[in-house]
Structure 1
């Protein structure tokens, strides 16, 4: 009986020692969670990190300092995969699924937005949702879209994407504009004709009355600024 008890105790001790030499899956998940919390700290909204399960069948050597990383081309946004590597005492690398949700405000159409017409505030509504599930380049502030025009017609309820909007032209093709340039001790002003449509801040080419082609920055009021 004593021999049997001794054998069982020895078996339990060996099993415990073996478990102590194995990497705890909970520590792996904690490493991933802490890594994603840091990586997503600057995202615009309330961030929630969910770490997926680790395969319990994996027998990884215990690692005193596991290092988490994102694979090239991935970011802490929506469904992602985080790698965890160990360099010593036994090198290994595993990949753990995770999800980063970002609850924040976005701008949607409160009423139909016709194509090509300036967007006004009555057509907009501020909504809240998981930004990671919405289209890329989503508008998050009304100031980003007011006064712009849409390349497509937008139905009520749909989010507004910045890549489908454009600023209103402040300079029109063929328009007579005032070419201006300021510098230390001088100011130049001349008349020219715009060669294309341009929004505020865009580069536009103009042609002077003397036939010279010059590029400048379009400004409201039919002005084009040139730096010499």
Structure 2
């Protein structure tokens, strides 16, 4: 017959073994977070790399057959983020795990110094590559987004271009004589008027007709303004 102390130690060892057998595997938690972020980041403009942070090995969670990952309100699969993982049964628990989603993609930068207010040409631009999650949300990712626009400030060479600091060049100028165009099914009417404000392509502009009326239309290249019928 075993002495009582040995019997007690055996019971503790058996209990610990049983607990370890039913504890949630930290590797399974990390796989859950990784798979969740891979789905959430699908379709992002670049090569996505998901890195899941370490899990405190001192934390013991009951094993869960179907852990569910989720993002906190206001969070997204972009850059440094926090992912929650919860279990509904057989035990209820929730844990939060740090992760990072990097997106290696192209962005547009100035190849030469860009003076304030001057229209930007394609030769003044260069395509660079980097982690888009570390750049401003309004970063330009295609030269077509930039060409023809101008900057609100002077920009030095190598600076990434932000769309919120660029403005479109006007296609209609204040005081310019423009052609008013109204078209419909089987007809097209044109008239002349004078623009009373600057407007970029696609912007609404006010025009005063030769008869003195003020009408609104959509500014188009070539000094035309489309007026809805």
- Report the 3-state secondary structure (helix = DSSP H, G, I; strand = E; otherwise coil) of the residue aligned with 2:37: helix
How far is the alpha carbon of 1:126 from its aligned partner?
A: 1.0
How far is the alpha carbon of 1:185 from its aligned partner?
A: 2.3
The superposition leaves residues 161-188 of structure 1 with CA deviations (integer Å, 9 ceiling, x where unpaired) of: 1111111110001111111011012211
Tell me how far apart the structure 1 counterparts of residues 193 and 89 of structure 2 sit (CA, whole Å).
70
1:76 corresponds to: 77
Aligned residue pair count: 228
1:169 corresponds to: 170
1:173-212 superposed matches below 5 A? 173-212=174-213
Instruction: Report the TM-score, using the length of structure 1 for normalisation.
Output: 0.94
- Report the 3-state secondary structure (helix = DSSP H, G, I; strand = E; otherwise coil) of the residue aligned with 1:19: helix
Runs of 4+ deviating beyond 3 Å: 1-13
Structure 2 unaligned runs (5+)?
none
Tell me how far apart the structure 1 counterparts of residues 92 and 206 of structure 2 sit (CA, whole Å).
60
1:25 corresponds to: 26
Tell me how far apart the structure 2 counterparts of residues 71 and 86 of structure 1 sit (CA, whole Å).
16
2:143 corresponds to: 142
How far is the alpha carbon of 1:210 from its aligned partner?
A: 2.0
- Does 2:104 align with 1:103? yes
2:216 corresponds to: 215
How far is the alpha carbon of 1:2 from its aligned partner?
A: 6.1
How far is the alpha carbon of 1:55 from its aligned partner?
A: 1.9
- Report the 3-state secondary structure (helix = DSSP H, G, I; strand = E; otherwise coil) of the residue aligned with 1:158: coil
Tell me how far apart the structure 2 counterparts of residues 91 and 74 of structure 1 sit (CA, whole Å).
23
Structure 1 unaligned runs (5+)?
none
How far is the alpha carbon of 1:222 from its aligned partner?
A: 0.4
Tell me how far apart the structure 2 counterparts of residues 205 and 12 of structure 1 sit (CA, whole Å).
84
How far is the alpha carbon of 1:209 from its aligned partner?
A: 1.8
2:89 corresponds to: 88
